[in-house]
Amino acid sequence: MSDSKPQKQPLALIIDDDMSLRIAMQAALHKSGFEVLEADNGAEGIEIFAERRPDLVLLDVVMPEMSGYETCSALRQLPGGKYAQILMVTGLDDTESIDFSFEAGADGFVAKPINWSVLGHRCKYMVRAGSAFRQLDQSRKRLAKTQEIARLGHWEIDLVTNEFSCSREAAILMGNTAEPLPVNLKEFLTSVYTEDQEDTEKIIEAALSAHKGFSVDYRIVNEGGEKRNIQNHGEILYNEEGEPATLLGAVQDISALKAAEEEIRSLAFYDNLTGLANRMLFKDRLNFEIQQASRAGQKFALLYLDLDQFKLINDTFGHHIGDKLLTEVAGLLKTCLRSSDITSRMNDESVNPLIARLGGDEFTVILTDIKEVDNAAFVARRIIEKVARPYTLDGHEIYSSVSIGISLYPFDSTDAIELLKYADTAMYQAKRNGRNNYQFYKSSYNFAAVERFTLERDLARAIAEDELIIHYQPKINTKTQSIVGAEALIRWQHPQRGLIPPNVFIPIAEESGFIVDLTRFVVRTASRHWRQWQSEGLEPGLLSVNLSAYRFAQQNIIAILRESLSEEDDPVNLEVEITENVLMQDTTSTKNILQNVREMGIGVALDDFGTGYSSLNYLVTYPVNTIKIDRSFVKGCELESKKGVVIRSMVEMIRRLDMKCVAEGVETEEELMIISDLGVEEIQGFYFSKPLPQEEFADYLRHNQT
């Protein structure tokens, strides 16, 4: 006995008004294994077809009332009519009838008289073809539904013609629901995130050039604004000659997979109470930072935090209150250690903190690539200020503070376990010192941190109590050797420490946020002195004021300048000096600020030219009208001929840009002669004068003018 499933007998329907012909057809079909139904007109045939859905229809073209063409068209509209094979039987042996047959939807035609021995075989092949088409269509539908369920679509590029095509599912997955479908790869990838788009296009274009497969993940935003994760995988298809013919790609929505991965990662590496990194992630990151710092020759700080008297809070109010306090503290740490805020306050774009909860009330912070040890002290003070305060938790008012220990790589150790141990040791020292403070593992760093903190505190007082003064360094015309202006330089006359140089207190002012107050003081005070000297009949010339590069766009420079210029009726010939570092910041904001400065009638000078890393393109992009050649080119130029060549090139370039040229740091008569011969218009330097206090500069001005 055979185990194979018995074949279903194919069903044929004969629609013909000629009974004798129907009988002959029926005999031929029976002989070929068909079950046969008959109808003598089109209307009857349509009814039988709707009820029985035959596999094959033999349809006479010429019939009364309803022609074979009309019947064929009607059959195609019925359920099951799409893949039924329709053979037109005609005695009309002309091309036009054949065309009409196919236009009506026929699959073939046979002319009378009919070869009965061939008819059965032909009908069997037609039924087989119809079954294949039906199975193919069902496969396509299953594939489309499978792709829809799997969030999958396909696309391809013909490697010969470079033509692109994609499925509707692929277009929808890529966020394009509108008609028509994308016609090229760039249009297909339009919805990809901007930051992912360039890399994605490069990977696919490289695969096209090399005729290789690829795989790339990226993010898209669809037309509804929904963000999705997509995986795009491509393979090369080859033709019969073994040559690359098509790059076939498949796109799949992997958002659910990505979400699951993130969930697993969160459970593995993050604390479920606070959302901070857990001990496992902290250890991994600490070892990674040691490797990075070792390769790059960098420094980093490890802060170990412990809440003061946390056990007492737990015992008194319960663990649920303790958990809420930990959550509050974690939120404060995130707020005061935002990467963008920390880096801007430290004037160091590389600092990127990691906050972790090791367990209980213990937290750690890794400050990567710090430039100065003081940066760690700054962060520690800020944490203490934020955390030490009253908390209202479930109606209970609780006061909490924090003690912090700090270890430094590579000064304290280059080993992860030792760095953590040393930070823990320093934290307990902070506890012994009365809590709510920080301690470095090495006491020498504590002294330096205290020193800096003291200066920051004193600087706030200095601004309020007029301890700040201004010195003026004259600018001299090289031809007439007369004063044409001066640069205003701030100094700090500390009541106990004496005169503190700017390189000590300016960085502190920038990090503590006092720099805006210092800028306002210099502009207002120097402008007042200028007006006073002008009222006395003196001609001080151009007043130059330095602007800090620290967060230049946030210093409210325009308001400060307007405030000073509007105080009196007498105008002050004013110029601001910036360094190349300013031009390398937010270019749009910086350019707008400097343009507004020029529109106020204030000049813009580029200081220390030649020592920074900015492009010469900035000279034609930004509204700069004066270039100050740095003193490093001037010093010793009488002994080093190459410096003269460089200065001459600078002067020629500045002249061609229609800008004014000033040389800094002229200290000898030989330097003066060379600089003058090279065409520099103005100079500054100790050869003529060091920076002078207000009254001394006024005397110098009077002497020069007489």
**What pLDDT score does 444 carry?**
63
Q: Compute the Cα dihedral for 96, 98, 99, 101 and give only its sign.
A: positive
Please, which pLDDT band fits residue 344 given cuts at 50, 70 and 90? very low
Cα gap 119→218, rounded to integer Å: 58
- Please determine, for residue 27, whether its predicted confidence score (pLDDT) is greater than 60: yes
**DSSP secondary structure letter of residue 7:** P
Given a cut of 60, whether residue 345 has pLDDT beyond it is: no
Can you give the residue ranges of every domain in the chain?
A: 11-145, 151-259, 272-441, 457-705
CATH fold of 457-705 reads: TIM Barrel (3.20.20)
Give burial (CB, 10 Å; 0-12/13-18/19+) of 218: buried
CA distance 605 to 597: 11
670 vs 585, higher pLDDT: 670
In this predicted structure, the answer to whether residue 406 has a pLDDT above a threshold of 50 is yes
The identity of residue 293, as a single letter, is: A
For residue 343, the model assigns a pLDDT of 45
CA distance 282 to 364: 8
The whole-number pLDDT of residue 615 equals: 59
pLDDT confidence bin for 284, thresholds 50/70/90: very high
Residue labelled with tokens 């029926």: 26
Q: Is residue 2 pLDDT above 60, yes or no?
A: no
pLDDT at 456 > cutoff 90: no
Comparison of pLDDT for 3 and 374, the residue scoring more? 374
Query: Fold match between 11-145 and 457-705?
Result: no
Find tokens 């002989």 and name the residue.
31
Q: Which CATH class is domain 11-145?
A: alpha beta
What is the residue-averaged pLDDT of the chain? 84
Provide the percentage of residues in the chain whose pLDDT is more than 90.
29
Report pLDDT for 181: 87
Q: How far is CA 271 from CA 276, 279, 303, 696, in A?
A: 5, 8, 18, 64
Judge contact between 353 and 337, C-beta under 8 A.
Answer: yes
Give the 3-state secondary structure of residue 254. coil
Nearest to 383 by CA among 317, 447, 325, 303: 303
Under the banding of pLDDT at 50, 70 and 90, the label for residue 351 is: low
Task: Measure the CA–CA gap between 200 and 342, rounded to whole angstroms.
Answer: 33
- Position with higher pLDDT, 215 vs 443: 215
pTM exceeds 0.85 for this model: no
Q: What 8-state DSSP symbol labels residue 496?
A: T
Element (H, E) at 248: strand 244-253
Does the pLDDT of residue 340 top 50, yes or no? Answer: no
Residues 86-107: pLDDT tens digits? 988 887 666 777 778 888 888 8
pLDDT at 585: 63
The residue that leads in pLDDT, 434 or 345, is: 434
Query: Residue 341 has what pLDDT?
Result: 46
pLDDT digits (tens, 9 = 90+) for 637-687: 776 778 878 888 888 888 888 899 998 989 988 888 888 888 888 999 999
524 neighbors 565 (Cβ within 8 angstroms): no
Q: What is the pLDDT of residues 119-172, one digit of tens each?
A: 888 888 888 888 877 777 777 666 666 556 556 888 999 998 999 999 888 888
State whether CATH 3.30.70.270 applies to domain 272-441: yes
Amino acid at 127: V
Predicted pLDDT of residue 347:
46
Write down the CATH superfamily of domain 151-259: PAS domain (3.30.450.20)
Confidence of residue 569 (pLDDT cuts 50, 70, 90): low
What average pLDDT score do residues 469-493 get?
91
Mean pLDDT, residues 493-510 = 84
CA distances from 577 to 368, 607, 655, 665 (A): 32, 6, 19, 16
